[in-house]
Structure 1
Amino acid sequence: MTTPADGPNHPVGQARRLAAERFPDALSVVLAGSTVAGRATATSDLDLAVLVEDGGATRRETLRFEGRLVELFIHTRAGLDELFAADTASRRGVMQRMYAEGLVLTERDGAGTGLKHRAAAALREGPGALAPATVEDRRYALTDALDDLSDAADPVERLTVAGVVLDVAADLLFDHHRAWKGGGKWLPRRLLQADPDRGAALLDGYRRLCETAAPQPLTAAATDILTLTGGPLREGHARTWPVSHDPSPVPGACTRDDPDAGPA
């Protein structure tokens, strides 16, 4: 027997009570995340996007309400414009997806519904393409990581390099399809949405390497993506950065701790 959505122990009911108690004057409160997607568990947190009047603060806050962890994304209209722009630049579309896929709990003058339509349109449009130079950097990084993977004898090094192969190959595939990317648990979900066949092959190759230490399936899947996006890149790849008097590393420069790093 399932708990009614507005019951005392249902996360949607908890979210409605939190919105009423904590944000009675909000322009809108939208519930997003696993609860709306139907994947919530007893320990899942609540993700709430809260639109407040101009003059308020744009911030993120974590609290606990009725025993459940809550992530609050609080913003003004101007603040949300900045968040949308940042999420578009990062090609993740986090706030856009929260609004587009979320459940409007409260709103004034249709504010939440209007933002849902705006966010859904932005998701359909997709992120912009990576700059050609950035694609070259990704191709070089993946070529280098695949070379390292073939040479890796230490099991810990092999797993570490495999993670780089997964991340960079996924990034190239996301860009090829102009698809929104994801991190953590969202990487495989977004990857399968962007390209069910190549995404599944890449994820399966990574899983098999973790389970059996065999690199061949991951190498084959990543090489397929590399070929799709321009092919391996070694000789001829070059980048310059402006000279800085600051002794700290130049932003964007390749280091061995960077997934885009070149050969040591």
Structure 2
Amino acid sequence: MSSDPDDLTHAIDRARRLAAESFPEALSVVLAGSTASGRATTTSDLDIAVLIEEGGGTRRETLRFEGRLVELFVHTRAGLDELFAADAASRRGVMQRMYADGLVLSERDGAAASLKRHAEDALREGPGALAPATVESQRYGLTDALDDLADATDVVERLAVAGVVLNTAADLLFDHRRAWTGGGKWLPRRLLQADPQHGGALLDGYRRLCENGEPEDLAAAAGAILTLAGGPLREGYARTWRAAAETRPGHT
């Protein structure tokens, strides 16, 4: 995390210059991500959402501006509605968070403030529940992964299985709490927001396994989450081929 306020100020100033030079007619320009939240490092990119008039194209673009990597999310209002819908379906709420938590660099006629309220409402509502068949599939997958974790003797195999346990248990916990998910560095952050107790225990167990090779704490934490979701599932689990393909982990 950046410890120098001057670095943050310079990053924001750079983003303002890009907005003024590249998008002078934009309805709104919002700086989001780690820079807006104060988590930026010297290598963090600038995540910038740009709302443009209808008739323009919705796109994502990566460029470099004054030596800093920039991720642009350019969209019309109609395009943003589609992005919001896609992010709700994926249960990640990426664009919703950009607008809810971002720093307004420029706006016309209160466009950014209106989108911020819309995004905050969507985040409060949360994602919809996973389909029952998907939850069953996740329960079955986690039950199987926990069995594999208990049996694993090879270090690399144990680590690989631990990753499956972490992600599948996290998916079930997010659904149980009707919370937004996250990937990469956002997975632990979202887990702790969704459920500090169970999410924290899951992350601690995963860390201990990675550090010491000991699976007991991870298995116990994932087992507790599995209980919240309905318990282990082995006998009695059945799916037709089409249903199994449509409801495998990561699908709804």
Which TM class, normalised by the smaller chain length?
Answer: over 0.9
For residues 8 and 188 of structure 2, what CA distance do their matches in structure 1 show? 29
Q: Secondary structure, in 3 states, of the residue corresponding to 1:43?
A: coil
Question: Partner residue of 2:95?
Answer: 95
Q: Secondary structure, in 3 states, of the residue corresponding to 1:47?
A: strand
For residues 195 and 54 of structure 2, what CA distance do their matches in structure 1 show? 40
How far residue 225 of structure 1 moved from its aligned partner, in angstroms, is 0.4
Question: Partner residue of 1:72?
Answer: 72
Q: Which runs of 5+ in 2 are unaligned?
A: none
Runs of 4+ in 1 over 4 A off after TM superposition: none
Matched, 1:3 2:1: no
Which one is further off, 184-193 or 101-110? 101-110
Matched, 1:84 2:78: no
Contact 1:141–1:259 at 8 Å: present in 2 too?
no
Larger RCO: 1 or 2 (CA < 8 Å, sep 6+): 2
TM-score, normalised by the number of residues in structure 2: 0.94
Question: Partner residue of 1:247?
Answer: none
Question: Partner residue of 1:50?
Answer: 50
Question: Partner residue of 1:222?
Answer: 222
For residues 77-100 of structure 1, what are the alpha-carbon distances to aligned partners after superposition, in whole Å with 9 as ceiling and x for unaligned? 111000000000010000000000
For residues 234-255 of structure 1, what are the alpha-carbon distances to aligned partners after superposition, in whole Å with 9 as ceiling and x for unaligned? 0111111349xxxxxx95375x
Q: Which runs of 5+ in 1 are unaligned?
A: 244-249
Question: Partner residue of 2:162?
Answer: 162
Contact 2:8–2:35 at 8 Å: present in 1 too?
no
Amino acid of the structure 2 residue aligned with 1:110: G
Which one is further off, 34-43 or 114-123? 34-43
Corresponding pairs, count:
248
RMSD value over aligned CA atoms?
A: 1.8
For residues 242 and 178 of structure 1, what CA distance do their matches in structure 2 show? 26
TM-score, normalised by the number of residues in structure 1: 0.90
How far residue 4 of structure 1 moved from its aligned partner, in angstroms, is 8.1
Higher helix share: 2
How far residue 68 of structure 1 moved from its aligned partner, in angstroms, is 0.4
Question: Partner residue of 1:176?
Answer: 176
Matched, 1:252 2:252: no
Contact 2:133–2:247 at 8 Å: present in 1 too?
no
Q: Secondary structure, in 3 states, of the residue corresponding to 1:49?
A: strand
Q: Secondary structure, in 3 states, of the residue corresponding to 2:73?
A: strand
Amino acid of the structure 1 residue aligned with 2:83: L
Matched, 1:200 2:203: no
For residues 242 and 125 of structure 1, what CA distance do their matches in structure 2 show? 31
Q: Percent identity?
A: 74
Q: Secondary structure, in 3 states, of the residue corresponding to 2:118?
A: helix
Contact 2:59–2:74 at 8 Å: present in 1 too?
yes
How far residue 2 of structure 1 moved from its aligned partner, in angstroms, is 3.6
